[in-house]
Structure 1
């Protein structure tokens, strides 16, 4: 009997020891939670993002058994196309990623397919209060508080200048930087620049140079309309009310289409930073994140190069408006609906990445703006630059400083997402620009046949031309929204 008791105790001890050993073994060999992130960052943006992902994997990820795999999917358009193909299960498509970068229109479409995870349950109210409120609001498509887009990096638009060319022009004409604060001032400065350069070759008429160009033309229309008192896409509960105000549109037309067909504005390369590199523009409006692409030198058609200095200004606004406005843009991250373990792991990474210590470092290298209130401060940026020990270009630093200031002094706006919003925005992006380019081509044909620029432009700068465009613009938007 005694022997049986001793044997039982020994067996129990052996089982317990084996059990503990087995548990310890499982803990060490447990498969980590893998989080695949699709993004569109490139150049310096991709480099810093990949560095931060590696840092997460070696620290918090290692502690919590999470491994993040960041994968570049080309441009944002290419990424969006791949995501939609994956979600719809098209033949040859990749598996749906756990996290992917998306603008609101795409996120809304994914949410309508019930494939976007609600992130609000993984964030406390205290945590949410740390983020810029409008950035979080962009990721909410209903009034129930669900959060479908996690803000990771934002940008706005800035005016960037070839200061070397500007100083020569300003000294010769007396045009000063105050003209750069309004769209009307930009148009007048561009006309003066055209006339000044045209006068330098008196034997060759009408060969003045272009002054200004801009990226993301839809922002000019959408933000301009809003600032002038009309919200182009008024969205409530996913339903959109289109508001095309003829008076507002005429002001937008007069301050872009008219300078464009006169040769004061232009667009040549894929982005306006490309045009700055070739010296085809002196000034441009681009995303604040575009600061990393601002050229240090201009390369002319004959292959000669010369260094330039850049300068940065806040986005111009219309004269007589009380509220300075700029776009709020920059894709956030959507977490694909899966299970609590996978979703929580994804949010753990996103919270870490957007903490000021990491997010400001990303902003400093990429030109994006941090997404928390704490990160949007000069002191946070100064601290990050000091700790990094890495040089930051003057143009990037100026972009960050002005961008941070604009978060306080400007109203940032972005249209709420709605069905077919992507198609509607494309119409806003291309309608006036396509009209301007088509008319400019005809003007240039007339000039090649001996007409003066003024006479050729007069044929197209008419009330009738504007009204025809406006009707086609509104019709196309209604068709896109209603389809």
Structure 2
């Protein structure tokens, strides 16, 4: 992450602009306030967010009397539960001042308990952010509960060296993976050609199923209790396409993050968050100890042929507990600094996310600060650019406890996928096996 050394005179001007409060500030340099921060950036390895926190604390934070302290790292799927536990007085957790989470998790904490960022940012400031990203963190009554600092979507990432061998033998090209039908056909052909290996591990299969169903005209397939309508035929057929492939071992639900399975050669490819690029190595190390170059290839999310393409608009936002105005001002100062255009571009380019400011996406085309291997990041942002231009973004579900239900579903599928391919290979009907996975989905309440 690039460091910025500002002249003292310009630094003073910047401090005044960042605070947005002038002489009315509640911050005191000689009596600093500490902001406890929970985030999801970097659970698997060293965190670019932690580096930014250190930079803030040693510069603007030091000069204004604000110290940000990272007190917990989690995953996006788990952090909502941790926040609720802390709010309820859990023995091991204290409620943070600032945190990343999804809107449903924020709403579960009680909107009245959270800072409305519109109280701390002017409309002129907010007009510089992508409207859809702001809407993704806005409650039904218009309160901006989660401030966008980055957004992700789902992409296809592949061991290019292994795919070249498959392509040469079977004639499958990357272009064939552009549609869901082509993707699942390639998965079946790879399984047959490789002697039973799995083509792809999916990190968020339910979202892939949802997007295909919506592209096919499913309409609303959610129930009032925040799950899926078992009577929606289009949604079920979308699920069954995935489930048939799962039952035969063509695809799997990832152990947690598909990049690990790609890097060990367990699968050829992964379908997951654009941010997963942060965790890919430049080599594949097979379980027998042999290695080969990864030559990572990144492609857009498959889409339904002949239909308007949809993409998930994912990623957490920054929420803050409503305690004192001093802490709210301190949190707003950090958020304003964090989303400064050049700094935000640096952050997303290092982590595989999309920038949140209008026009910043175009600046990535000429960006020269990608980490190595830079070609993989260039491919990633080329794929994201294609999706930004050709796909319509769709926000993720906002139901309370939705992600905990999804976690139960994935755990169940991971258990089933250990046995289903063997049963399919022994002659059991694939559709019947796929129906077992549908029954699992319908059983979750």
TM-score range, shorter chain: 0.7 to 0.9
User: For residue 354 of structure 2, what is the aligned residue in structure 1?
Assistant: 369
Q: 1:408 to 1:249 in 2, by over 3 A?
A: same
User: For residue 382 of structure 1, what is the aligned residue in structure 2?
Assistant: 366
**Any conservation in 1 of the 2:43–2:75 contact (CA below 8 Å)?**
no
- What are the within-5 Å matches in structure 2 for residues 7-406 of structure 1? 30-42=30-42, 46-77=46-77, 79-90=79-90, 92-111=91-110, 114-142=112-140, 144-197=141-194, 207-231=195-219, 243-244=229-230, 246-267=232-253, 269-321=255-307, 323-377=308-362, 379-380=363-364, 382-383=366-367, 385-386=368-369, 391=372, 393-406=374-387
Q: 1:270 to 1:398 in 2, by over 3 A?
A: same
Instruction: Give the 4+ runs in structure 1 shifted more than 6 A.
Output: none
User: For residue 23 of structure 2, what is the aligned residue in structure 1?
Assistant: none
User: For residue 447 of structure 1, what is the aligned residue in structure 2?
Assistant: none
SS in 1 for 2:337: helix
The structure in which a higher percent of residues are helix is 1
Render the CA deviation track for 1:431-464: whole Å, top value 9, x for unaligned.
Answer: 6665555533544xxxxxxxxx2xx34x2323x5
**Any conservation in 1 of the 2:200–2:268 contact (CA below 8 Å)?**
yes
Q: 1:124 to 1:326 in 2, by over 3 A?
A: same
**Any conservation in 1 of the 2:37–2:99 contact (CA below 8 Å)?**
yes
Render the CA deviation track for 1:231-286: whole Å, top value 9, x for unaligned.
Answer: 55559xx9869544543234324432212222322356442211111212222211
SS in 1 for 2:100: strand
**Structure whose alpha-carbon radius of gyration is higher:** 1
CA distance, structure 2, for counterparts of residue 268 and residue 333 of structure 1: 27
CA distance, structure 2, for counterparts of residue 334 and residue 348 of structure 1: 13
| C-alpha deviation, 1:402, in angstroms | 1.9
**Any conservation in 1 of the 2:44–2:279 contact (CA below 8 Å)?**
no
CA distance, structure 2, for counterparts of residue 105 and residue 86 of structure 1: 16
| C-alpha deviation, 1:52, in angstroms | 1.8
SS in 2 for 1:398: helix
| C-alpha deviation, 1:172, in angstroms | 2.1
SS in 2 for 1:37: strand
Q: How many aligned residue pairs are there?
A: 420
CA distance, structure 2, for counterparts of residue 43 and residue 432 of structure 1: 24
| C-alpha deviation, 1:160, in angstroms | 0.9
Q: 1:35 to 1:396 in 2, by over 3 A?
A: same
Render the CA deviation track for 1:163-217: whole Å, top value 9, x for unaligned.
Answer: 11112221222222221101110111122222323xxxxxxxxx33222221122
Render the CA deviation track for 1:127-180: whole Å, top value 9, x for unaligned.
Answer: 2222222211121221x3211111112111111111111122212222222211
SS in 2 for 1:282: strand
| C-alpha deviation, 1:333, in angstroms | 1.2
TM-score, normalising length from structure 1?
0.78
Unaligned runs of at least 5 residues, structure 1: 1-26, 198-206, 444-452
Q: 1:45 to 1:175 in 2, by over 3 A?
A: same
CA distance, structure 2, for counterparts of residue 138 and residue 213 of structure 1: 27
CA distance, structure 2, for counterparts of residue 193 and residue 341 of structure 1: 58
**Any conservation in 2 of the 1:369–1:404 contact (CA below 8 Å)?**
no
RMSD across aligned positions (CA): 2.9
User: For residue 19 of structure 1, what is the aligned residue in structure 2?
Assistant: none
**Any conservation in 2 of the 1:360–1:381 contact (CA below 8 Å)?**
no
TM-score, normalising length from structure 2?
0.84
CA distance, structure 1, for counterparts of residue 304 and residue 349 of structure 2: 30
SS in 1 for 2:143: coil
Tell which deviates more after alignment, 163-172 or 243-252. 243-252
| C-alpha deviation, 1:335, in angstroms | 0.4
User: For residue 396 of structure 2, what is the aligned residue in structure 1?
Assistant: 415
